[in-house]
Amino acid sequence: GKGNHRHFMHKEIYEQPAVIGDTLSTFVNPATRTVALQDLPFDLAEVSRVTIVACGTSFHSALVAKYWFEKLARISVEVDIASEFRYRAAELPEGGLALFISQSGETADTLAALRYAKSQKQHVAVLVNQPESSMAREADVMLQTLCGPEIGVASTKAFTAQLAVLACFAIAVARARGKIDTQREAELATALAEVPSRIAEVLADEEAIEALGKSLIDARDVLYLGRGTSYPLALEGALKLKELSYIHAEGYAAGEMKHGPIALIDDQMPVIVVAPHDELFEKTASNVQEVLARGGKVIMMSDAAGIAAFPGKTLATIRLPDCDPFVAPILYSIPLQLLAYHTAVHKGTDVDQPRNLAKSVTVE
């Protein structure tokens, strides 16, 4: 049941500290501050290329993973949506690693993409929440999120738990390839181990986010901006808002805004900016200035340092706890989920069962 929550989605948002803690406990050893995967039927050090394929929200976690794998493990990563990948005759060098991400393990396009990768002699790994699923059965390796059932049609806890596993996977590949030293691994293991309590801190800020959600209900369009790993977060925030509240929303790479969408900005346009104070912060901040100069209503998600460093005048800020930038995508997912949730609740839409959507898309 929903316990004392009004919707399954709300309950599942609040389950995140626990389910991410459970999921991480399979991979992170807090005593030795190391990260390890299960034994694999191939050598990670020999993998020359990684291909990650998924749909929807799971595709957004794949995009975050691309940044992590490239930066930490210095390996070439290609990411695609399954409905494109399966039909485009992708050239996959033998011995590559193909990873399929799916909460349900049953999404038709992702399963077809997996079968294609198998036919191209890839090592096939899946990251699923349902261990009894078609994808889990057909893969060489199964990685699992330990979320329990996700009832709300809009994915929340499965997404953040996918990110937690992918972070561990990236660290494991980095170590196999000799690209990370013991000290950095220890820092990252600690940062990951602290994620559940940091999420709990973000959840404690729900009231402020609820008020912001209420302020969005009459918006016609909402733009989400981010750079680096915050770019896929912008895509995910926009997807959550549109599917739950039926308000048109778009996620954009902050630096790409001046190549088109800036034409949309006027004083009616809410712009949500995902901007932890990381190495790209100054770049994002200058894009935000361009939005402000055109009257856009900026809602900025950042940490204390980012909020202090930002020179412009935002409509509102959502302050996130300090964290290693590596784990920021997991934390910044939470206010994006809550914002979409509360906008929808105030609009009166069916949060757990948005129109036209199905939890598991088993037809293409």
Helix (H) or strand (E) holding 73: none
| Site membership for ligand F6R, residue 160 (CB under 6 A) | no
Please tell me whether residue 83 binds ligand F6R under the rule CB under 6 A. no
Return the range that interacts with ligand F6R (CB under 6 A); candidates 13-21, 52-60, 166-174, 271-279: 52-60
Query: Quick check: 127 binds ligand F6R (CB under 6 A)?
Result: no
Active site residue 359: yes
**Residues 6+ positions from 308 with CB-CB distance below 8 Å:** none
For ligand F6R, which residue of 110, 122, 230, 343 counts as binding (CB under 6 A)? 110
Q: Is 351 in the site for ligand F6R (CB under 6 A)?
A: no
The one segment of 85-93, 100-108, 247-255, 321-329 that binds ligand F6R by CB under 6 A:
100-108
Question: What secondary structure letter does DSSP report for 219?
Answer: -
CB 269 within 8 A of CB 221: yes
Which one of 16, 23, 103, 333 is in contact with ligand F6R (CB under 6 A)? 103
166 binds ligand F6R (CB under 6 A): no
Q: Given candidates 16, 122, 134, 155, which one binds ligand F6R under the rule CB under 6 A?
A: 155
Q: Write out the binding residues for ligand F6R, residues 180-239 only, by CB under 6 A.
A: 239
Which string of DSSP letters, residue by residue, matches 82-148? HHHHTTTT----TT-EEEEEESSS--HHHHHHHHHHHHTT-EEEEEES-SSSHHHHH-SEEEE----
In the structure encoding, which two tokens stand for residue 131, read together?
């261990």
Apex CA 16: angle with CA 3 and CA 38, to 5°?
125
Among 51, 107, 160, 314, interactor with ligand F6R by CB under 6 A = 107
Stretch that binds ligand F6R, among 55-63, 171-179, 193-201, 219-227 (CB under 6 A): 55-63
**Residue with the two structure tokens 């695609």:** 80
**Judging by DSSP bridges, how do beta strands 34-35 and 28-29 pair with one another?**
antiparallel
C-beta closer to ligand F6R: residue 58 or 287: 58
Q: Is residue 57 a contact residue for ligand F6R (CB under 6 A)? A: yes
Rounded to 10 deg, the angle between the 328-347 and 195-203 helix axes is 30
Q: Of the residues 179, 214, 347, 359, which is catalytic? A: 359
Nearer to ligand F6R by Cβ, of 103 and 230: the residue is 103
Give catalytic residues, as residue numbers.
359
